[in-house]
Amino acid sequence: MKVTLITLQDDLNCYGLRCLTSVLKESGVQTQLLMLDRWGAAQSALAYKGSEQQYPDKTLEDVRKLCEGSDLIGFSVMTLYFKETVRFTQYLKTTLNVPVMWGGIHPICEPKDCLQYADIVCLGEAEETIIDVVNALSLHKGLKGIPGIMYKEGDRIITNPTRQPSYELDKFPYPHVELDNTYVYNLDEQSIKPLDRNELLKRWGHVYMTINARGCPMRCTYCCNSQLSRRFDWTFVRSKSITKIIGELKHVKNIYPELRGVKLSDDAFGDLPVEYIKEFASEYKKEISLPLWVPGFSPSNLTREKLSPLVDAGLVYTRIGIQSGSPRVRKLYGRHDTNEQIINAVKLVHEFRPKIKLLKLDIITDNPWETEDDIIESIRLLMKLPKPYMLCHFKLTMFPGTPLYIKAKREGILRESYDAGYSTHFYNIDMSSKLNKIITLFTEPVVLNDKIEGLISAHKDENTFEQKYTEYINSVSQTAEVSVN
């Protein structure tokens, strides 16, 4: 059996397909991995801004050539890449007689929609499911009864029993990080080539990203985890053993001694038990000793007892989701942190500077249920948070299947599917909004709080606002010049 796994994800981390590549190889399946990243995460928002960006027709043919001889082609699909995944799938299905399987968050949330194009849809975590599918195909057996999939049988859609996520993450091999049978898209040449070591490290930023714990206790209404929690026991956070995660990091470090850091991209690292975090930090410091990135904290789970051992182990970066300064909007989002918790969490991180070099804060606007007063509450909360921090300003993107998407469809806010998620990038913020322009000022290193109130007062008067906004920008420039000199 030969399996080709493909992702259009805008970086080369591709954790999910790296995990599937490993389990397939461990089972003796010939596997190749193709990553069609065109820009890297830093440029993806610019690439999607304004219009959908298609791959050249030549790339479709290059992918077809790479897939020749495959017995199964698998795509990892996120909503933003849905349309282009459809294009690749349709081309492959018309040129190759090979079943195509889709997995990832979009097929889990919208499986019937995806079955218009794919032959098989994976409805959850896929390590065990894909092995069952490959075994059935190799034995020319049907797919009946394989848990965790939906598939077509003629014109009929068959939904098999649910497969609950595994609680034993240690039984799976380390994610595949080797270079054999791994291919990447070269944007400059618009061609597919074998991935080499230097290119991988460059596009990783010399930081290895992995996921230690799966699941999330929160059910934020804009997030795919709310949909997963409706289908699976997703609110229980499942982690690898300390031995397993440290073993994985040692394995990768041995292969790539040039690494400059490790990023644990768990959704809810901060919800792991304190004793687990302390033991992890101790072993990480002893065995890995690289700068550590842990973004998975919220204001309600970030404590000194958890943060201190991580800083001692080398934590240099963390991230906190604020989402809104309005308690009413946070309630709409399913976020129950208080403003006091948010302020205290940011102050706590600052106590560990300069060891913690970077703090990112997330905030969401462009919400159709949000009033101007709500946005002003967000601005005033940001004014209370001590710099330095990097503000990440996002557009509310209502991805299919999430509670906010359902609410928006029900209320007539979204009339067509393409209005939400399929083409809209979460960085494509409405900068015609004066209040958004004010919030974006907090993305800069210097913020002049004493002048922000004047901008808030003037936001309804076009001429006055633009005058005060220009004055603000000039004042920031002068402040920055003074600080440099």
Give buried/exposed letters for 121-143 (b at 16+ CB in 10 A, else e).
Answer: bbbbbbbbbbbbbbebbeeeeeb
Kindly list the structural domains of the chain, giving each domain's residue range(s) and its CATH number in brackets, ordered by start: 2-171 (3.40.50.280), 206-443 (3.80.30.20)
Q: How far apart are CA 360 and CA 307, in angstroms?
A: 15
- The reported pLDDT for the residue numbered 483 is 54
Q: What is the pLDDT of residue 43?
A: 58
Distance, CA of 211 to CA of 197 (rounded, Å): 22
- How, if at all, do strands 191-194 and 238-239 pair? unpaired
Report the pLDDT value the prediction gives residue 198, as an integer from 0 to 100. 95
pLDDT of residue 427: 79
pLDDT at 63 (0 to 100):
97
Q: How many helices (H) and strands (E) does the chain have?
A: 19, 17
| Low-confidence residues in the chain, pLDDT < 50 | 41, 50-51, 484-485
- Alpha helices (H) along 384-461: 403-410, 434-441, 449-458
In this prediction, residue 484 carries a pLDDT of: 46
Question: Residue 235: its pLDDT value, please?
Answer: 78
- β partners of residue 262: 208, 292
> 454: which DSSP letter?
H
**How many residues can be counted in the chain?**
485
